[in-house]
């Protein structure tokens, strides 16, 4: 958990520093000041050639400002992307080895007459046209079984293995989440486990600290 906190803070701080390096606050201030001057001049000019020149100046200025900020954001996201691609999967795999079972959402045990362990419930469910989805049949951790394309897309963006089914497996909601059981307590479970939640919070905090520090140093 401490490693997730440190990693999120460092990656968030790098994002802010790289972005500010590409789009410093001083350049942003000069852009807005120049835009204001050009707008005021537009209101006072009647000559068509001069108007076209001022409009061209606005378009060039806005285009350069947007490209600089978008480029800075893209470069700033590189550390985040590299971490998520190369460091996060092995870290999550190591974390998941400490799980004491699997957790399901929603808790489908309540739909049975007799209580059953999550593994037993999962083994008893089937994907229409694909057969059983129990852990013994190869269902990996952090899996989302969904029967709408939108839900499957969202879960894929969150790093889940999304399995789309042609027919509902449960009455509601339109998905079943299967993930290692760590007794997570964060408000975004089951979409984020505690380890992931700590990383996201640290990432945001590190970004804010980096932006504030970069602003204070200029």
pLDDT digits (tens, 9 = 90+) for 94-148: 898 888 878 888 875 444 433 444 454 455 555 444 444 544 444 457 888 888 8
Does 200 lie in the same domain as 150? no
> Is residue 188 in a domain?
no
- The confidence score (pLDDT) of residue 86 equals 93
Q: Does some domain include residue 18?
A: yes
> Is residue 202 included in any domain, yes or no?
yes
Identify whether residues 116 and 68 lie together within a single domain.
no
pTM exceeds cut of 0.75: yes
Within a domain: 189: no
88: left (phi over 0), alpha (psi -120 to 50) or beta: alpha
**DSSP 3-state of 175:** strand
Identify whether residues 6 and 55 lie together within a single domain.
Answer: yes
Tokens of 94: 């190591």
Say if residue 11 is in the same domain as residue 87: yes
Higher pLDDT, 44 or 107: 44
Q: Is residue 123 part of a domain?
A: yes
Q: Mark whether 80 and 109 lie in a shared domain.
A: no
Domain contains 155:
yes
Q: Are 90 and 7 in the same domain? A: yes
Q: Which domain holds residue 58?
A: 2-97+194-216
Question: Is residue 16 domain-shared with residue 82, that is, in the same domain?
Answer: yes
Q: What is the pLDDT of residues 47-66, one digit of tens each?
A: 888 888 888 888 988 888 89
Q: What is the mean pLDDT of the chain?
A: 81
* Residues 108 and 78 both lie in one domain: no
Asked if 93 and 128 sit in the same domain, the reply is no
Rounded to whole angstroms, the Cα distance separating 25 from 22 reads 10
Q: 185 in a domain, yes or no?
A: no
pLDDT at site 218 = 57
d(CA 23, CA 172): 47
pLDDT for 82: 95
Cα distance between residue 185 and residue 138, in whole Å: 27
Q: Any idea which of 112-116, 151-155, 158-162, 207-211 has the lowest mean pLDDT?
A: 112-116
Q: How many structural domains is the chain composed of?
A: 2
Percent over 90 (pLDDT), the chain: 35
d(CA 181, CA 144): 15
């Amino acid at each position: 958990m401490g490693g997730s906190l440190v990693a999120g803070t460092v990656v968030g701080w790098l994002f802010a520093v790289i972005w500010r390096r590409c789009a410093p606050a001083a350049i942003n201030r000069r852009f807005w000041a120049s835009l204001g001057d050009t707008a005021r001049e537009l209101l006072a000019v009647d000559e068509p050639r001069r108007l076209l020149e001022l409009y061209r100046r606005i378009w060039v200025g806005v285009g350069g400002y947007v490209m600089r900020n978008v480029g800075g954001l893209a470069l700033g996201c590189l550390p985040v992307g590299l971490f998520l691609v190369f460091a996060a999967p092995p870290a999550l795999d190591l974390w998941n080895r400490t799980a004491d079972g699997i957790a399901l959402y929603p808790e489908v045990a309540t739909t049975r007459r007799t209580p059953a362990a999550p593994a037993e419930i999962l083994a008893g469910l089937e994907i229409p046209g694909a057969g059983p989805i129990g852990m013994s049949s190869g269902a990996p951790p952090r899996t989302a079984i969904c029967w709408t394309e939108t839900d499957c897309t969202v879960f894929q963006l969150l790093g889940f293995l999304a399995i789309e089914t042609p027919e509902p497996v449960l009455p509601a909601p339109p998905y079943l989440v299967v993930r290692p059981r760590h007794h997570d307590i964060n408000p975004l479970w089951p979409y984020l486990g505690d380890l992931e939640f700590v990383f996201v919070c640290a990432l945001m905090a590190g970004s804010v600290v980096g932006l504030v520090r970069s602003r204070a140093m200029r």
